[in-house]
Amino acid sequence: MRNRMIAGNWKMNETFAEGVELAQGIVDQLASGTGNVDVVIAPPLVDLKGVSEVLTQANSSVALSAQNVYWEESGAFTGETSPAMLTSVGATYCIIGHSERRGYFGETDEDINRKAKALMAHDIVPISCCGESLEVRNAGTHVQFVVDQIKADTKGLEITDPSKYVIAYEPIWAIGTGMTATADDAQEVCGAIRKTLVEIFGAEIADGIRILYGGSAKPENVGGFLEKEDVDGALVGGASLKAGSFVAMVKSAMN
């Protein structure tokens, strides 16, 4: 049985002090526990240490995620952050392959694959994103497009514990646009992802890998997505920047 997951991606929002305040608000509102829902928050890099201290001091079950990583251990890579550096500040998850990283910074499936391998070597769980543009969706080739991404992003990965790898399906046309995929849209693609994972890793591992939906997910619609067989949670953007709305989504997943 897969535990549900609600992950908040703060993107390039919240200063150090604001991040600490937001994390404290989330922790306080979840003080009674999260049941069988895994909760993850992904602040900007400069906020990681402060948020980590909030989570540690509260002895919270909320986990810390980074928003990006580089695959080398160390070296002359100005501006980059290694997996070991993330571990040192308490990060146990890391988002990779987000559509904004792919679109704005030219990251490729090969890059995402290398990042996943580097993270897993340090026991950091990748939250590996995939998804199609509106052009691909309108062409009717979105399922094959995402399946091809999954095959490239997982190439050569060795997964023995399915809880150590997470996929987030995020239709690009539904991120920050106000447009939202329907629950049936999400299931169509997430179901295809699950079938592809069976082909790659076998049924036992594939059945344990969580697939999240991302793309204008909010308290008002998350319940519909969670009703679908192959949607195990949500990767939340804007709605994760307010403690109340983020916690409401966690509580919806607990029901």
Known active-site residue 204: no
Question: Which residues, other chains included, contact 5 with Cβ-Cβ below 8 Å and sequence gap of 6+?
Answer: 37, 38, 39, 40, 166, 210, 212, 232, 233, 234, 253
Known active-site residue 110: no
CA distance 84 to 61: 22
In Å, the largest CA–CA distance within the chain is 50
Say which DSSP state 2 is in. P
CA distance 224 to 134: 22
Marked catalytic residue, from 98, 107, 132, 188: 98
- Tokens in use for 115? 């990042």
64 phi/psi in degrees, rounded to 5 = -105, 135
By the 10 Å C-beta count (0-12 exposed, 13-18 middle, 19+ buried), 21 is classed as middle
Question: Which residues, other chains included, contact 230 with Cβ-Cβ below 8 Å and sequence gap of 6+?
Answer: 187, 190, 191, 193, 194, 211
Q: Specify whether the CB–CB gap between 3 and 33 falls below 8 A.
A: no
Q: What sign results for the dihedral spanned by CA atoms 205, 140, 228, 34?
A: positive
Marked catalytic residue, from 14, 100, 107, 170: 170
What amino acid positions are annotated as catalytic residues? 98, 170
